[in-house]
Amino acid sequence: MEVKVRQIMDQHFGFLDFKMGQEQIIDSILHSRDTLGIMPTGGGKSLCYQLPALVLPGLALVISPLIALMKDQVDALNDQGINASYINSSLNHSELYNRLDKARRGYYKLLYVAPERLESENFTDLLQELPLSLVAVDEAHCVSQWGHDFRPSYLGIGAWISSLPQRPIVAAFTATATPRVEEDIIKLLGLEQPVVFINSFDRPNLYFSVHKGVDRSSFINRYLKEHPDYPGIIYAATRKEVDSLFDELTKQGFSAGKYHAGLSNAERSCYQEAFIYDQIKVMAATNAFGLGIDKSNVRFVIHHNMPRHLEAYYQEAGRAGRDGQEADCILLYQAQDILIQKFLIEQGILSPSRKEMEYAKLQDMIDYCHTSHCLRKYILEYFGEGGVPEHCQQCANCMERELRDITIEAQKIFSCIVRMKQAYGSKLIASVLKGSKQKRIIELGFDRLSTYGIMSELSTASIIDLINLLAAEDYLSISSGKYPVVTLTPRARPVLRSQEQIILSLPKIPQAAAPESNLFEALRELRLQIARQQGLPPYVVFPDITLREMATYLPQDREAMLKINGVGQVKFERYGEQFLDIIRRYTK
Ligand code: ADP
Ligand code: MG
Ligand code: ZN
């Protein structure tokens, strides 16, 4: 069995080895066990059901939430010489019956369907006749109300499976692993004594950084100029911000698209296609963009605003570098972001306890923006991983930093808070330090405090940033809830008495990456031509990492080419010689 699995992987996928966890998951499925695979984005979940589908007799049904994604996955499979198809609402009647007929005759190994399909009796009747080996539920967290992408139609999957004349193996996959979601997946999909695999959430190729109080447009402008070849996503909090970001990018001459719920379907899919097919480089988007964006060569994800919680942040940032190559995850933080998120929480119809939870998660997100310790460690510990090393040496907080002594500013802030009786929020404290003439400040008599206006040289926003920084470093504590109150912690006292200093190290702005080699560029050009001819996204032909390996190892013949990660026999027959030609010419 193991030999056969390796052989199929070699022939159709061209992968030299499994990624972490894949082998165990595949093995578990092939031993007819229900299986739940929890792996980070880019961890390689698809292979975990695609490979068993090829090994097992009969048809594997893949339930996947996104129509756009299905087509890409199926195109990619077909290009690897695998018979696969999809069924969703974009098909007309005759296409539908044609595909079902082929499925019945055993032509396909994989059939992708949207969960809504299972609600139509017509369709499920037809499915009853198909010999299903495996049902794979992708993005399985959609079944849980505790997840962030709840899809009611996922709730029907469990009942449908138990209605089948013969129960297939059921495998579920997700990147969201809170215990509550995991429990829901097992219960609601009706997994039977499942084997659960949880992989580390670490994404070693992602470089995390947080930049506080920088001017966002000039930061983005500079970053894009320094990385002209990088495809990437810029997430903003609101439609309005996406629109103005998009206008700004286009005005600056960058090749950009935009995506948010306020655009028409046609506009959205037009920009999305252009992005996936490498016709535009940068996508400005709200969080509506992304569930299941499989583009593997996203080189950066910039958050123009802080998202509401780390689950959302890690999922969005995690869309960078799925190919395992280095990628940047940059968060541009401003104190005002907190207000936007609080507003969104208040607006939602949430029970009081749920609201409280949202506020607590928001505070964790804010702390991420302010910590001066390893960002990767912070994230992994948030997701419950233990034994994470103190420093990853692959995030802005672990790398070279600038030291900043904020003792004097801290003393001013602390003494102002004490004089205000530790009973107010950061905004009011900052306004007093700034010396604002707000009515409320005058009414409360705070304009007569000795600390009134002692930080007038700073903006209120940057004073708030300092307060948050001191909170993240545990000198201040900020209560949760709608009107958080800032108080001193015991750590603040020695600073206030000038017995201790506060020296923080802050990240440097990332440097431009080395330019790509000529050969890599030439290979990329060829890939683009082929992709256009075939009507495929370029990364489906070969991912960046495969081209980069070609440019590094310079294979000269078929045998050497097959040793490149991502070149299987099928792909070699299709494209190998053309790529070899270029490499040979280059090495001459
Ligand atoms: P996920 O669904 O977990 O986010 P994907 O299945 O989309 O991840 O895989 C992410 C990327 O990793 C894809 O580009 C895929 O081709 C690649 N990949 C998957 N398995 C392997 C492997 N064993 N070796 C090399 N690359 C792999
Ligand atoms: Mg996936
Ligand atoms: Zn680190």
- pLDDT tops 70 at residue 415: yes
Query: In testing the pocket of ligand 1, which one of 6, 10, 11, 15 has its CB within 8 Å of the most ligand atoms?
Result: 15
Ligand nearest to the CA of 19: 1
The tens digit of pLDDT for each residue in 390-399 reads: 999 899 988 8
Q: What is the distance in A from the centroid of ligand 3 to the CA of 377? A: 6
Mean pLDDT of 186-204: 93
Question: Atom 19 in ligand 1: which residue has the minimum CA distance?
Answer: 44
Ligand nearest to the CA of 398: 3
> What does R_g of the chain's alpha carbons equal in angstroms?
27
Number of structural domains, the chain? 4
Check: CB of residue 452 under 8 Å from CB of residue 446. Answer: yes
* Res 291: pLDDT: 64
The 10 Å Cβ neighbour count of residue 458 is 15
CATH number for the domain spanning 282: value is: 3.40.50.300
* Res 147: pLDDT: 65
Q: What is the distance in A from the centroid of ligand 2 to the CA of 143? A: 16
Rounded percentage of the chain residues whose pLDDT exceeds 90: 56
Please state, in angstroms and rounded to a whole number, the distance separating the CA atoms of residues 191 and 171: 8
Q: Could you tell me if the CB of 18 is within 6 A of ligand 1?
A: yes
Question: Atom 20 in ligand 1: which residue has the minimum CA distance?
Answer: 44
Q: Could you tell me if the CB of 80 is within 6 A of ligand 1?
A: no
* Res 12: pLDDT: 93
Check: CB of residue 460 under 8 Å from CB of residue 436. Answer: yes
Rounded percentage of the chain residues whose pLDDT exceeds 70: 96
Of 400, 415, 449, which marks where a domain is finished? 400
- pLDDT tops 60 at residue 512: no
* Res 484: pLDDT: 86
- Is 140 found in the same domain as 39? yes
- Is 167 found in the same domain as 47? yes
The answer to whether position 384 is within a domain reads yes
What's the predicted TM-score (pTM) here? 0.67
Query: In testing the pocket of ligand 1, which one of 41, 322, 542, 548 has its CB within 8 Å of the most ligand atoms?
Result: 322
- Is 482 found in the same domain as 371? no
- Is 227 found in the same domain as 187? no
Query: In testing the pocket of ligand 1, which one of 46, 63, 137, 319 has its CB within 8 Å of the most ligand atoms?
Result: 46
- Is 232 found in the same domain as 193? no
* Res 395: pLDDT: 93
- pLDDT tops 70 at residue 39: yes
Mean pLDDT of 210-219: 79
Of 180, 198, 216, which marks where a domain is finished? 198
Query: How much helix, strand and coil, in percent to the nearest 5, is found in the chain?
Result: 50, 15, 40
543 closest CA partner among 15, 138, 41 = 15
- Is 376 found in the same domain as 304? yes
Question: Atom 2 in ligand 1: which residue has the minimum CA distance?
Answer: 45
- pLDDT tops 80 at residue 214: no
* Res 24: pLDDT: 94
- pLDDT tops 90 at residue 523: yes
The answer to whether position 511 is within a domain reads no
- pLDDT tops 90 at residue 220: yes
What is the pLDDT of the chain when averaged over all its residues? 89
- Taken in order 327, 173, 154, 184, the sign of the CA dihedral is negative
Q: Residue 399, CB half-sphere, CA atoms under 13 Å: how many?
A: 13
Residue 284 pLDDT class (50, 70, 90 cuts): very high
Residue 515 pLDDT class (50, 70, 90 cuts): low
Please state, in angstroms and rounded to a whole number, the distance separating the CA atoms of residues 338 and 528: 42
- Is 482 found in the same domain as 374? no
Q: Could you tell me if the CB of 65 is within 6 A of ligand 1?
A: no
The answer to whether position 513 is within a domain reads no
Q: Which of 123-132, 325-334, 553-562 has the lowest mean pLDDT?
A: 123-132
Domain limits at 27? Answer: 2-198
Ligand nearest to the CA of 376: 3
- Is 230 found in the same domain as 177? no
CATH number for the domain spanning 567: value is: 1.10.150.80
- Is 415 found in the same domain as 396? no
Q: Which of 206-210, 253-257, 505-509 has the lowest mean pLDDT?
A: 505-509
- Is 463 found in the same domain as 523? no
